[in-house]
């Protein structure tokens, strides 16, 4: 999912054509205080013209800010998913859902210590279709580098487990702030996929291809999955390449093949 500043409407359509599964029209951190009203108006206009043809999400300003109410009021005129920054509890999410209606999906951005500790409550909220991990804000609160994987490991794992326990799709990992270091982006993407994230937030179009590749099953994985599913058949218990295959192994193989199928018609906003 690719962020684009809400006060740069000339970039919206370019972002939509970048190859990202969805774009995030950002009214929060990417927009200065002096441009909040202009950004909201630009997003309102663009959604009115493109919302039916583009997978778009709007990151509103947080519930603790005086811009939040106007952001939500604008979105009430569109059937557009919303990303809520600094999600900390289910009550906060219920408040947003009550204003926008039950049909509007919410991506809860967990990026504070309080939010991490409430990750299962947040993930289980009825309006939440997916969670995302805000590594940069959390790192600032903790006084660590967002690039320090060891420092952020427990928080990432907590968000992943909470999403799984709530029956939600795998969460989205936070951004890689360097837009020129491809090695770091590749490493961050592989690490996130290995942990169990289902995607990643991006801040520049040139990051998209690497992230898409990093979250796509390898040819080796796909061949293994097909072999397992074919060998298991209806019995669900067999041996493949000298390793026991039972139901959990088959389930993993089925999920890999489902990811391959969904790549042709990506859906970052399930439900």
Per-residue pLDDT of 66-118, as tens digits, reads: 999 999 999 998 988 999 999 999 999 999 999 998 788 999 999 999 999 99
Stretch among 93-107, 154-168, 180-194 having the lowest mean pLDDT: 93-107
- The first and second tokens of residue 227, run together, are 């072999």
Which of 193, 214, 235 is the last residue in one of the domains? 214
Our measurement of the distance from residue 143's CA atom to the centroid of its chain's CA atoms, rounded to an integer in Å, reads 24
Flag whether pLDDT at 151 surpasses 50.
yes
pLDDT at position 271 over 60: no
Under the banding of pLDDT at 50, 70 and 90, the label for residue 268 is low
Report the pLDDT value the prediction gives residue 255, as an integer from 0 to 100. Answer: 77
Q: What is the mean pLDDT of residues 259-263?
A: 69
Contacts of 57 (CB under 8 A, 6+ apart): 1, 22, 23, 24, 25, 80, 81, 82, 83, 107, 269
User: What six digits make up the tokens of 122?
Assistant: 């947040």
Residues 120 and 246 in one domain: no
Rounded Cα–Cα distance for residues 239 and 221 (Å): 17
Q: Is the pLDDT of residue 260 over 70?
A: yes
Tell me what the mean pLDDT of segment 239-251 comes to.
81
Structurally, the chain folds into a number of domains equal to 2
Q: What is the pLDDT of residue 53?
A: 79
Range of the domain at 251: 219-262
Q: How many CB atoms lie within 10 A of CB 132?
A: 29
Q: Residues at the annotated binding site?
A: 59, 111, 137
269, part of any domain? no
Residue 209 shares a structural domain with residue 229: no
Question: pTM of the prediction?
Answer: 0.86
Which DSSP helix (H) or strand (E) runs through 100? helix 90-100
One domain, residues 90 and 8: yes
Give the number of other Cβ atoms within 10 Å of residue 179's Cβ.
Answer: 14
pLDDT for res 264 = 57
Confidence class of residue 263 from pLDDT cuts 50, 70 and 90? low
Is residue 26 in a domain? yes
Residue 208 falls inside a structural domain: yes
Q: Which residues contact 237 (CB under 8 A, 6 or more apart)?
A: 244, 245, 246, 247
Q: Report percent pLDDT > 90 for the chain.
A: 73
Work out the pLDDT band at 244, boundaries 50, 70, 90. confident
Q: Are residues 148 and 172 in the same domain?
A: yes
- Number of C-beta neighbours around residue 38 at 10 A: 13
- At 27-78, the pLDDT tens digits run 999 999 999 999 999 999 999 998 777 899 999 999 999 999 999 999 998 9
Is pLDDT at 262 greater than 80 in this prediction?
A: no
Provide the CATH number for the domain around residue 47: 3.20.20.60
235 belongs to a structural domain:
yes
Element of type H or E holding 106: strand 106-110
What does the pLDDT average to over 239-260? Answer: 79
Query: Which DSSP letter does residue 202 get?
Result: B
Q: Are residues 166 and 33 in the same domain?
A: yes
Report, as an integer, the average pLDDT of 195-210: 96
In a domain, 48, yes or no: yes
Co-location of 188 and 225 in the same domain: no
Indicate whether 270 belongs to any domain: no
Whether residue 86 is found in the same domain as residue 61? yes
Mean pLDDT of the chain: 91
Note whether 115 and 190 are same-domain residues.
Answer: yes
Question: Domain for residue 268, yes or no?
Answer: no
Q: Within this chain, do residues 130 and 233 fall inside the same structural domain, yes or no?
A: no
Burial (0-12, 13-18, 19+ Cβ within 10 Å), 121: middle
Residues 72 and 188 in one domain: yes
Residues 17 and 131 in one domain: yes
Rounded to an integer, what is the distance from CA 55 to the centroid of its chain? 13
Q: Which of 214, 211, 221 is nearest to 21 (CA)?
A: 211
Question: Comparing 144 with 266, which gets the higher pLDDT?
Answer: 144
Binding site for Mg(2+), residues? Answer: 111, 137
Binding-site residues for substrate: 59, 111
Other residues' Cβ atoms within 10 Å of the Cβ of residue 161: 14
Residues 204 and 178 grouped into a single domain: yes
Question: 14 lies in a domain?
Answer: yes
């Amino acid at each position: 999912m690719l962020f684009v500043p809400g006060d740069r409407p000339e970039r919206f359509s370019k972002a939509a054509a970048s190859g990202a599964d969805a774009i995030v029209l950002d009214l929060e951190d990417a927009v200065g205080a002096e441009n909040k009203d202009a950004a909201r108006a630009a997003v309102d206009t663009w959604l009115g013209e493109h919302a039916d043809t583009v997978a778009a999400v709007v990151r509103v300003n947080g519930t603790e800010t005086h811009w939040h109410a106007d952001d939500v009021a604008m979105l009430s005129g569109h059937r557009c998913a919303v990303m809520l920054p600094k999600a900390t509890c289910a009550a906060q999410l219920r408040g947003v859902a009550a204003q926008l209606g039950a049909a509007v999906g919410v991506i809860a951005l967990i990026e504070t210590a309080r939010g991490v500790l409430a990750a299962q409550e947040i993930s289980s909220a009825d309006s939440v279709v997916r969670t995302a991990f805000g590594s940069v804000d959390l790192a600032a609160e903790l006084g660590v580098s967002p690039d320090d994987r060891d420092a952020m490991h427990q928080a990432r794992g907590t968000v992943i487990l909470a999403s799984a326990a709530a029956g939600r799709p795998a969460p989205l990992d936070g951004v890689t702030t360097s837009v020129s270091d491809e090695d770091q982006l590749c490493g961050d993407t592989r690490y996130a996929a290995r942990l169990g994230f289902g995607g990643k937030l991006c801040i520049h179009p040139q990051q998209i291809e690497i992230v898409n590749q990093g979250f796509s099953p390898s040819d080796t994985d796909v061949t293994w999955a097909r072999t397992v599913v074919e060998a298991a058949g209806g019995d669900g218990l067999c041996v493949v390449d000298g390793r026991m295959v039972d139901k959990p192994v088959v389930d993993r193989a089925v999920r890999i093949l489902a990811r391959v199928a969904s790549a042709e018609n990506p859906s970052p906003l399930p439900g």
